[in-house]
Amino acid sequence: MPESVIAGIPVHFPFEPYDVQRAYMEKVIICLRDGTNGVLESPTGTGKTLSLLCASLAWIRTRQSEHQQQMIKLKATSKDGGTGPGGDLSELAMTVGKANNWGVPKVIYASRTHSQLNQAMRELKRTAYANMRSVVLGSRDQLCIHPEVMKEQGNSNKVNLCKLRVHSKTCTFQLRVESKKDHPDFRGPSIMDIEDLVRVGQKLKMCPYFASKELVAQADITFMPYNYLLDPKARKANKIELGNTIVILDEAHNIEKICEESASVQIRSSDVAMAIEDVTHIMKVFTSGESQDAGADEPKDFTLDDLTLLKEMLLELEKAIDAVVVDNPTDGTTYPASLMYELLGKANFTYGNCATIVALLDKLVQYLMVASQHMTIRKGGTFTLLSDLLTIVFANKESIMGKVHLSFKVHVQVEESNKQTGAKGGAAPQGKQQGWLSKGNITTTGASSKAAKIVNFWCFNPGFGMEQLLNTQVRSVILTSGTLAPLKPLIAELAIPVAQHLENPHIVDQSQVYVKIIGTGPDRQQLISNFKNRDNPKYISSLGQTILNVSRIVPDGLLVFFPSYPMLNKCVDAWQASGLWADISCKKPIFLEPRGKDQFTSTMEEFYQAIRDSKGAVFMAVCRGKVSEGLDFADRNGRAVIITGLPFPPLKDPKVILKRRYLEANRTKENQLLSGQEWYNLDATRAVNQAIGRVIRHRNDYGAILLCDSRFQDASQVQQLSKWIRGHLGARPQSSPFGPIVRELRQFFKHAEETMKQPDVREEEQPLTNVCKVEEDEPLPVIPTIKREPGSNATFRKANESAIKVEMANSINSWTPADYASAAGRTLGHAAPNAMDFMSRLDSNVSSIDFNCSGAAGSGLVKIHKRERSSPSANDSVATQATKKRYKLVDNIKTEPSSQPAVKVAPESRADLLRELRSVINQEQFKEFGKVLIEYKSGTYEKFESLMAVLLVVLPAPKMRYLLVGMRRFIKNEHKDEFDVRVASLN
């Protein structure tokens, strides 16, 4: 690999570094050399991660080389000095030096998610430093391979059961760590990500979670998520030592929020009440001897006196919280930070006994974890919440309480009542179980005159968490991201001394990026997604028309980002109802960002596959969502990004209001903090900058950025966009008419495809002839369906599945005109699709087209057969482009009528099903159905009852029964059995 000398350090880079990469690496090396901090911005696609790793590890390797030379001199001194005083000193120096890694700092590389860490580790494998020792730290949820632990639902349950098995020495995987940790399969690879650790752990039957910690001491670089580093609880649990380390915080555009959240905590009245109930249950077990009768072997390293004292404290805490006055039940009431310490003080939770009580709570969690295996009881989740509360609140030392009062606020809200919980686990009637064995008041409404409350202990000063990090004697802290600007307010909020800062330009040429502000849609309707306009049907329609027109021009992948999930769902519902959704999906299949982890992974895989298999795809997502943060849409996966609005935080959210007040109260000329309004605007623009960064991913990439909100032309918004984006918009950016943009966009992509180097075809892509080849005796392949998951409140999930069927016609053997007509979004009897499009289907590897379905009984029926090659090959597929094809028309091929009457089946597509439903019921009924369906998606069992009641009213007739059965696809998994029973009872 080429070697470049940067700031006096030889750096091996995979290729000759560009100027922006050289400037970036120089700043990194200066920070490490001088032991100072840096804030470095370099746009996405400039090789930021690669530059960061190469520069830091090159400096580490140089230091290691220098200390190796010192070690050789020490050995020589020891040999010459013999056993004299000089020799003893040399031996001592060697021992101390070896124990302290010879004074060479270690690197801790932290990012927001494990997917981002995996990307960084893949970059490291490309470098000359791939042989340096590295390790990644993950959670038990990711690394545990014990089958019993992995059955547990929820991360906290897995953690507690793991701790219990390790404590009782019943986890064979953990017990093998000591004997297997030096195995070549484990020590051999220098770079192992989460998947590698799990694979090796399963092979050696050794716990990957505990084994990975064995690698930390010898690692040159350790990868971990932010919370492991910034959260004092996680840092302590993972035994992370920060003295003389280099801390790199990549993707640091979210660092302020993460610092604030790591120092914040919440407790509910219901949490305290359930903790009282759990303590009471354990006390009953102690006094009645139930556990002995059950043959349990729970660890009981606590006494009945401990439980009695804890219950008294919790009862006092519950009473103190109940006494807090909430003047505004709707929005809550804000108090000074001192209220939290007063509430805990009234219950006798203090700095002096905090550690003891936290230890007791941990023991109780382990006890309940075992007890839950053979009796019906909660697993101690409320004890974990209380432990976190005490740990976070009392982490702030008494000596800095003045700063705590400035940085924190207590916000008390009324807790929403839970009727089901109240009915099942309510307080005992008066006169029953009063005294030390009573369960306390677990109800939130009803007999209690005091409403249950939520007490929030919120931090608004990110510098508070960063100061705790700096106090650990780290050598350097480097904050870096593609979207940090403006840097001064960031540095001011974090309150860290910064010696080096950088705002890099982009690595691509002006001709590789097309940036425009679209202020009006094709119908000249203003595009502005503000609060007043977002419910305007004309605006939503115009935005859909804009996306439709852009999807016709943009090749391959198109990303569309919305300000919020509600706005995304609102647009999807409106477009599906109006037919715009079907029009867009005829051009490109549509994917929606799901919220579930498993669904997200599968949806992304299907999106990438659709890009490879078809003419493109549209991915609709949300700013600040998973798609907008760190995912790679390079080359064909993302040729354009549409930003539909500015994702401002909720204006009336109590946390947003208090953050703005904090900034206004603490802002001075000296500290250069933003005003509340400036912070509010910047928070939205940073989210936009992150979403924009998904497209241009490397030097030879190209793409379009379309800002579909007229507010982007405001000077205040433009100045907060990334520096390289501002360069494309010019000094005075103005929105452009839609017509010229369409022409310019078409010319841009035409020019880019002619002049830019196109990406190589991925290795996993197979030739079309191989994909379509079907053995003679094999059944026809099933046409794949593509998932599209709206948000949790969306009415619809899929639309126009058959449109994808048309676009995948090359992978099927037969189809009918009905398939083609419905795929084009029409029904038979209406205008037919374009004849040339129809005939183009014959240019694929289709063996037959059945016209029998469209002819009347007794009419002449025709079937077209296409002669297939017996052994298609790549060369043949090229040759056939210039050869004529033979088609044979066969008369009178009739299908025998079935003796049984055909059973009518609901359409497969959700959108088609809803259209058919709309055609058979009146408008008022359809509105009522839509309302209860939306409520059901985010509601409880009661909403299921409401939905069933409406369905039985609007679909009462037997001839509509097929539609009622089709509604099963909208029913949640936990309600499907009951749905089936009710439908079956109607027959």
**DSSP element (H, E) containing 532:** none
Q: What separation in angstroms does the CA of 232 have from each of 235, 236, 240, 415, 545?
A: 5, 6, 10, 28, 50
The pLDDT value given to residue 794: 39
Comparing 930 with 120, the larger pLDDT belongs to 120
Asked if residue 563 has pLDDT above 50, the reply is yes
The pLDDT value given to residue 314: 94
Q: Which range is least confidently modeled, 262-266, 515-519, 633-637, 887-891?
A: 887-891
Q: Is the dihedral of CA 246, 250, 256, 259 positive or negative?
A: negative
Asked if residue 494 has pLDDT above 70, the reply is yes
Residue with tokens 């439903």: 917
The pLDDT value given to residue 580: 92
The pLDDT value given to residue 138: 87
Report the distance separating Cα 815 and Cα 886, nearest Å: 18
Asked if residue 54 has pLDDT above 80, the reply is yes
Domain ranges of the chain: 1-72+103-132+220-253+482-506, 139-211, 273-286+305-415+451-460, 513-756, 910-985
Comparing 374 with 26, the larger pLDDT belongs to 26
pLDDT average, residue stretch 138-151: 87
Q: Which range is least confidently modeled, 318-322, 408-412, 462-466, 793-797?
A: 793-797
| 627-664 tens-digit pLDDT | 887 677 888 888 999 999 999 999 899 999 999 999 99
Let me know: does 626 contact 750? Beta carbons within 8 Å.
Answer: no
pLDDT average, residue stretch 905-932: 80
Cβ-Cβ contacts under 8 Å for 32 (sequence gap 6 or more): 55, 56, 59, 105, 246, 475, 476
Q: What percent of the chain has pLDDT over 90?
A: 29
Asked if residue 792 has pLDDT above 50, the reply is no
* Backbone torsion region of residue 36, taken as left when φ is above 0, otherwise alpha when ψ lies between -120 and 50, otherwise beta: beta
**DSSP element (H, E) containing 509:** none
Task: State the pLDDT confidence band at 959, using cuts at 50, 70 and 90.
Answer: confident
Report the distance separating Cα 616 and Cα 629, nearest Å: 22
Q: What is the mean pLDDT of the chain?
A: 78
Please give the annotated binding residues, written as ranges: 144, 162, 171, 207
Please give the annotated binding residues for [4Fe-4S] cluster, written as ranges: 144, 162, 171, 207
Let me know: does 453 contact 477? Beta carbons within 8 Å.
Answer: no
Q: What separation in angstroms does the CA of 481 have from each of 358, 475, 855?
A: 37, 20, 63
Asked if residue 854 has pLDDT above 60, the reply is no
Comparing 50 with 289, the larger pLDDT belongs to 50
Instruction: Specify whether domain 513-756 bears CATH 3.20.20.70.
Output: no
Asked if residue 614 has pLDDT above 80, the reply is no
* Matching CATH number, 910-985, of 1.10.405, 1.10.8, 3.40.50, 1.20.1160: 1.20.1160
Q: Which residues pair with 5 in a beta bridge?
A: 10
Tokens of 630: 């760190």
In terms of Cβ atoms closer than 10 Å to its own Cβ (0-12, 13-18, 19+), residue 778 is exposed
Let me know: does 723 contact 485? Beta carbons within 8 Å.
Answer: yes
| 661-707 tens-digit pLDDT | 999 998 887 777 889 998 999 899 989 988 898 888 888 889 999 99
| DSSP SS3 for 767 | coil
Asked if residue 10 has pLDDT above 60, the reply is yes
pLDDT average, residue stretch 265-279: 92
Fold of 1-72+103-132+220-253+482-506: Rossmann fold (3.40.50)
For residues 588, 589, 594, 596, the Cα torsion angle rounded to the nearest 10 degrees is -140
Topology alike, domains 513-756 and 910-985: no
Q: Is the dihedral of CA 727, 733, 735, 740 positive or negative?
A: negative
pLDDT average, residue stretch 251-277: 89
Asked if residue 466 has pLDDT above 80, the reply is yes
CA angle in degrees (0–180, nearest 5) for 565-566-567: 90
The pLDDT value given to residue 809: 36
The pLDDT value given to residue 756: 80
Asked if residue 165 has pLDDT above 70, the reply is yes
The pLDDT value given to residue 340: 94
The pLDDT value given to residue 888: 53
The pLDDT value given to residue 590: 93
Q: Which range is least confidently modeled, 159-163, 905-909, 944-948?
A: 905-909
Cβ-Cβ contacts under 8 Å for 122 (sequence gap 6 or more): 193
Cβ-Cβ contacts under 8 Å for 543 (sequence gap 6 or more): 521, 527, 571, 644, 708
Task: State the pLDDT confidence band at 92, using cuts at 50, 70 and 90.
Answer: low
Q: Which residues pair with 413 in a beta bridge?
A: 454
The pLDDT value given to residue 718: 84
Q: What's the one-letter identity of residue 327?
A: D
End-to-end Cα separation, the chain, in angstroms: 74
Q: How far, rounded to the nearest angstrom, does the alpha carbon of residue 77 sit from its chain's CA centroid?
A: 56
Sheet holding 814-815, edge to edge: 814-815, 848-850, 862-866, 887-891
| DSSP SS3 for 133 | coil
Task: State the pLDDT confidence band at 536, using cuts at 50, 70 and 90.
Answer: very high
Q: Which residues pair with 837 in a beta bridge?
A: none
The pLDDT value given to residue 422: 37
Asked if residue 19 has pLDDT above 60, the reply is yes
Q: What's the one-letter identity of residue 732?
A: R
Q: What separation in angstroms does the CA of 537 have from each of 529, 533, 575, 805, 966?
A: 12, 9, 10, 31, 29
371-380 LR contacts (CB < 8 Å, sep 24+): 371/285, 371/291, 371/296, 371/298, 374/294, 374/295, 374/296, 375/290, 375/294, 377/278, 377/281, 378/274, 378/278, 379/157, 379/160, 380/160, 380/278
Report the distance separating Cα 224 and Cα 158, nearest Å: 20
Residue with tokens 């995979």: 14
Fold of 273-286+305-415+451-460: Fumarase C; Chain B, domain 1 (1.10.275)
